Structure formats: structure tokens, C-alpha cells
Structure 1
Amino acid sequence: MAFAFGLLSAVVPVLNVELYLVGLGALGGGTLLAGAAAAGLGQTLGKILYFYIGRGALNVPWLKRRAKTPPRWAERAERWRAKAEGRPLWTLGLVAVSSFASVPPFMVVSVLAGTLGMSVWGFAAVTFVTRTARFAVVVYAPGAALWLF
């Protein structure tokens, strides 16, 4: 279920995978890390769609509309593109930070990574590791909060 919710939430941003994972963490159980990894895999596959839109290899009208950079982010996205062009390690770092912290917005960075010609395997590997780490923090947060109080 975490995989499906992660995949859907990657494509349909009104679905919040973090809220789902907080609920999973609050319910407890021995499969919290597996839930975080499943959600991370789902998110990775969903963001690859945006990556391929950036490459120009995918023409799905409703996804293209979602992938449009919001006006307030357009100038920033152009600056990131200019900095990242020809600097693969910088691009990898930007993807990692955005994937983990969601700043800058990861959907925008996913499209940007595709436009810059980043390897899909590199994008997928960094995204899976950092999304899973983020989701592990989220899924264990309720238990940690109870332990503290």
C-alpha cells in the first residue's frame, strides 16, 4: 500500500505521502522501514515521469501541465539550470537535496534533471536513497515523539 500511495502522490501532489507515513508510524508495527522504502520506490518511479517530461521523451498533456514551473519558481529554475549545466556533481547534489528536503520543489528539479541530460539511473538511485531516508525520518517520528514525552 505504501508503494501505491508513494507512486500516486508523486504524480498527484494533493496526495500527501508524508501524512500517510505519519499514520503508518503512529500505528506502529515492525514494517516501518519497509513502508518507507516502498513509498520511496513509488515516489522514485513517479518522479521519473517528470524526469522524462524534462527530456521531451514523454508527451502526456495533463502531466505536462503539472510539470510547468510555477511563475514564482521560473526564474529560480533558470538559475539552477544555468549553474547545473555541464556540472554533473552539482546536478546530483541538487537532486539529492531537493529529494530529501523538498526545497527547491522536487517536481521542478525532476523536470530540470531531465532537461540537463542527467542519467536516468543516477536520478533514480539518488532519488530512491534520499526519498527513502526522508520517509524513514517521517515514519519513525511518531514513535520518537512518544518516546520523548
Structure 2
Amino acid sequence: MRTVLVTLAFTFASGVFPLLNAEIYLAAVATRISQGEVWAIALAAGAGQTLGKVVWYYGAARSVELPWFRRRLESGKARASFETWQQRINGRPWVAAGVMMLSSTVGVPPLLVMGAVAGALRMRMWIFASTIMIGRTIQSYVILAGLAMAFHGW
């Protein structure tokens, strides 16, 4: 249980501070866990990463209201481009979910960038959070199970 809670805390911190690498942490954890712990730790890692990226989402969503951002949108071209992207993201939720799923599982485009973009463009929170939770849990499971099998020979 302690490993699950530490994983949740570390992956939350790594979701907020990109210099803390969740994948390296999970690789280290994989050397000392049993087969029965893999899913619980993967779920904790997915939840921690999701909560960390929600911080970035809301930070970006709030930054759109700041005066310096508003000044950048004063030009007609910048505002039109911003509004076009907002409509694309919110008008095609399955495309947005697909991009977020790809970002959260394989890292292309980078999830940190996508978290900020999603917040600025006001992507629906349920799409944002659920795809990151699913994608990061899958990624964490693959890392943990793969390396644990290699270390322990399950």
C-alpha cells in the first residue's frame, strides 16, 4: 500500500514538474514489486499523472484571461486562429480524445504541451482527464509489467 501512495504522490509531482521522470521511477519500482501489485501501482501512476496535468490545464485556462494574452488576441488574425482551434477541439470530441490518448500513451505530441493547449482551448474536462487516466495507466502497466517480468521472470 505504501508503494501505491508514494507512486501517486511522485507521479502527481512529475505531472506538474516535468524534470521528475515518472517512467524512470516506475522502472525502479518494477524491480521490487510482485505480480499482484502491478495493476494497483499502474492505476496510482495514471491517477497521479492525470491530476498533475489537470494543474497545467487549469493554469493554461486561467492564462487566457490575463491581460498579456488578451493583448495578443487583439489582432483579428490571432483571434480568428484561436477561435478556429477552439471550435475544432470542442466540435470534434473524438478527434480531441484520440490526440490526447496518443499523447498520454506514447508521448506524441508531448503531454505537457497538450495539457496546456487543452486548457487554453477549453477542451472538455471529461475528455481531457479520462483519456489521460486511461492512457497513462496503460503506459504505466506496460512499463511495470514488462520490466517486472524481465527482473523477476514471471
TM > 0.5 between the two? Answer: yes
Separation in 1, partners of 2:107, 2:130: 17
**Is 1:13 paired with 2:18?**
yes
Could you tell me which runs of 5 or more consecutive residues in structure 1 were left unpaired when the two chains were aligned: 60-77
Give the structure with higher Rg (CA). Answer: 2
* Cα deviation 1:2-47 (Å, max 9, x = unaligned): 0001100011111111111111111122212111110110110010
Q: Alpha carbon RMSD of aligned pairs, Å?
A: 2.4
Equivalent residue letter for 1:137:
V
Q: Structure 1 length normalisation: TM-score?
A: 0.76
2:86–2:122 CA contact under 8 A, matched in 1: no
Worse overlay, 84-93 or 130-139: 84-93
* Change over 3 Å in CA distance of 1:104–1:95 after alignment to 2: same
What is the Cα deviation at residue 83 of structure 1?
Answer: 9.4
What is the Cα deviation at residue 54 of structure 1?
Answer: 2.3
Aligned residues: 128
1:99–1:127 CA contact under 8 A, matched in 2: yes
Equivalent residue letter for 1:104:
P
Separation in 2, partners of 1:19, 1:95: 22
Identity of aligned residues (%): 34
Partner of 2:124: 119
Separation in 2, partners of 1:82, 1:21: 35
Could you tell me which runs of 5 or more consecutive residues in structure 2 were left unpaired when the two chains were aligned: 1-5, 66-81
- Structure 2 matches for 1:51-90, cutoff 5 A? 51-56=57-62, 81=85, 84-85=88-89, 86-90=91-95
- Structure 2 matches for 1:1-149, cutoff 5 A? 1-29=6-34, 30-56=36-62, 81=85, 84-85=88-89, 86-146=91-151, 147=153
Equivalent residue letter for 1:32:
V
Separation in 2, partners of 1:32, 1:142: 11
Separation in 2, partners of 1:144, 1:35: 15
Partner of 1:74: none
* Secondary structure of 1:56 counterpart: helix
* Change over 3 Å in CA distance of 1:82–1:118 after alignment to 2: closer
Separation in 1, partners of 2:109, 2:31: 28
